[in-house]
A = this chain, B = another copy of it.
Amino acid sequence: MFEARLVQGGLLKKVLDSIKDLVTDANFDCSPNGFSLQAMDSSHVSLVALLLRSDGFDHYRADRPISMGMNLNNMAKMLKCAGNDDIITMKAEDAGDTVTFMFESPNQERISDFELKLMDIDSEQLGIPDTDYAATVKMPASEFQRICKDLASIGDTVLISVTKDGVKFSTTGDIGSANITCRQNTSVDKPEEQTTIELNEPVCLSFALRYLNSFAKATPLSHTVTLSMSKELPVVVEYRIGDLGHIRFYLAPKIEDEEMEDEA
């Protein structure tokens, strides 16, 4: 038996909106630790890892670990039927083939329950090592989203260069080129408006803007985003979800040779 109650149901709605365009089907793992998901995007290029910790829920019970395979578009469709301030409860039997979403309006006048059919999904759970990164940039999520959107109108690849002073996003395309530099600023009043850089070693990596723009759909979840990078390793784009957990996106950098392949 699995049961999880989240008073801030709107968070779950936003979580699904942020990954349903990237991943079509995925297994949610319900364990005593929490409610989590790890999946490759449908083109098998990037990886999404979601964790909602059990202690972040208002009630949580997972008698034994179960895995629930869902079509994320269908799940999102059902969650759209919840109000943004509804309380959402998920329930599933250990051996059942459905999951139930219960929505309670804040005043309890309206109670809905939606039953979604589960599906069997092959999934390779990758072990993701907890690395120390050469550079970690923390910046306002909306600013990162804006930059990725703007640069995508010029080119399709962004070169991210981090030095101790700041982070530079560069692209080149048919019509010209662009560089956007964000300087470190710890001086701003509000922490969520700060851009901070932790640097062990300067890094300089290229990524496909198309995926970064997909990741940026998680912007409504958090004021800030964290980019963690090391040479030749996938970037980690992380959005914290209140005190509930986080969603992390992984994307391998483009290598020069690969860029040529893309053009072909």
Contact = CB atoms under 8 A, between A and B. Distances in A.
Interface of A: 71, 74, 77-78, 80-81, 98, 107-117, 143, 150-151, 153-154, 175-183, 185, 195
> Would you list the 9 A-B pairs with minimal beta carbon distance, nearest first?
A81-B150, A112-B180, A74-B175, A116-B176, A114-B178, A115-B176, A115-B177, A111-B181, A77-B153
Contact of A109 (B80, B115, B116, B183): B183
Contacts of A180: 81, 110-112
This protein's copies in its complex: 2
Nearest to A118: B176
B154 A77 contact: yes
Contacts of A182: 109-110
Contacts of A143: 110
B98 A176 contact: yes
A81 B177 CA distance: 12
B74 A176 contact: yes
A71 B174 CA distance: 12
A169 to B, nearest CB: 9
Given A109-B182, A110-B180, A117 B81 contact: no
A74 B176 CA distance: 9
A113 B178 contact: yes
Contacts of A195: 109
Contacts of A111: 180-181, 183
Contacts of A109: 182-183, 185, 195
A175 B79 CA distance: 13
A78 B174 CA distance: 13
Nearest to A116: B176
Contacts of A117: 175-176
B175 A116 contact: yes
Contact of A81 (B80, B81, B112, B178): B178
Given A109-B182, A109-B195, A116-B176, 10 more contacts: A74-B176, A78-B154, A108-B183, A110-B182, A111-B180, A111-B181, A112-B181, A114-B154, A116-B175, A117-B175
Given A74-B175, A109-B185, A80 B116 contact: no
